[in-house]
Amino acid sequence: MQHDILLNIYTTEMRRTIIAYLIFTTIAVLGIFYGKQIEPAYQGLRIWKLENIALIFIGLPFALLLPTAGLPNFTPAPLFSKKQILIPMMIGITFRILDVIAIEWMLPHPPHTKLPPYTQPFPYSLFLYFSGAFEIEVFYRLIPLTILLLFFHRFKKGKFFEAAFYTGAILTSLREPLEQWPQGPVWYVVYALTTGVSMNFIQALFFRREGFISALSVRLGHYLIWHIANGVMIQYMLLKS
């Protein structure tokens, strides 16, 4: 009887995970079709290919294995709670407000005459950057940390689980800043590396304690300000003036 109840709960969580994963992937697919429709009107529009969708599905088995790795379910319960969604998003927003101040106001650069490469026309930017945030979290956090913790959750009854997690958290936090090494004055390079590593590490903590969607929410808050709101300001205010 107890086994049947546990199996039913696990199956329910699996269904929720698959549905959520499909919804996130569908947003990316819609973005591809929307981008194709508006592509003639915008030079240099960045559009995903269907191959990107196939790659995203690599993460689905790992999303299903999260509880087995000693991690929270892919879909938090309750969904859209302040602790799991709002607070992480506000943290991401705070990081990017600082970036807007540092990059747009403090770093010297010529006036914008077109949308810069870190923005896309609105509202297409909503689709592209949600998909981009999802993709990064799948490959930078979901897959590597789940693989690592699947082993250490069982190895010697989880004796080294916490040490393995923090090691993985540090390594995955270094990846994005090192891959996107900043250019500019020394103060800016130090600032960008420090905030980049810090935000990624905070995302790893949310991933461990609250689940994947919480880690994703940090990045979505980050992208909402830098890629989307900043792009709207440039597109509709600076380029129209």
> Which of 237, 224, 220 minimizes the C-alpha distance to 115?
237
Confidence at residue 216, expressed as pLDDT on a 0 to 100 scale: 95
Secondary structure (3-state) at 43: coil
Q: Quick one: average pLDDT of 184-193?
A: 87
pLDDT digits (tens, 9 = 90+) for 81-131: 677 888 999 999 998 888 878 777 677 666 767 777 788 989 999 999 999
Residue 186 in this model has a pLDDT that exceeds 80: yes
The pLDDT-based confidence of 15 (bands split at 50, 70, 90) is confident
Please give the residue that has the higher pLDDT: either 107 or 65: 65
Q: How far apart are CA 122 and CA 120, in angstroms?
A: 6
Confidence at residue 5, expressed as pLDDT on a 0 to 100 scale: 43
The pLDDT-based confidence of 182 (bands split at 50, 70, 90) is confident
DSSP 107: S
Q: How far apart are CA 22 and CA 53, in angstroms?
A: 11
Residue with tokens 């969904």: 79
Confidence at residue 241, expressed as pLDDT on a 0 to 100 scale: 46
Q: Mean pLDDT over all residues of the chain?
A: 86
Structure tokens at 194: 């420090």
User: What is the number of domains present in the chain?
Assistant: 1
Q: How far apart are CA 207 and CA 73, in angstroms?
A: 10
Cα separation values, 183 from 42, 111, 125, 189, 221, Å? 27, 18, 24, 6, 24
Residue 3 in this model has a pLDDT that exceeds 70: no
Could you tell me if 149 and 164 are in contact, meaning their C-beta atoms sit under 8 angstroms apart?
A: yes
Residue 163 in this model has a pLDDT that exceeds 50: yes
Length of the chain counted residue by residue: 241
Cα separation values, 43 from 9, 50, 91, Å? 49, 21, 33
DSSP 106: I
Structure tokens at 229: 């709101």
Please tell me the number of Cα atoms within 13 Å of 144 on its side-chain side: 17
Q: How wide is the angle at C-alpha 10 spanned by C-alphas 4 and 14, nearest 5°?
A: 140
Which residue segment(s) compose the domain that 8 sits in? 2-238
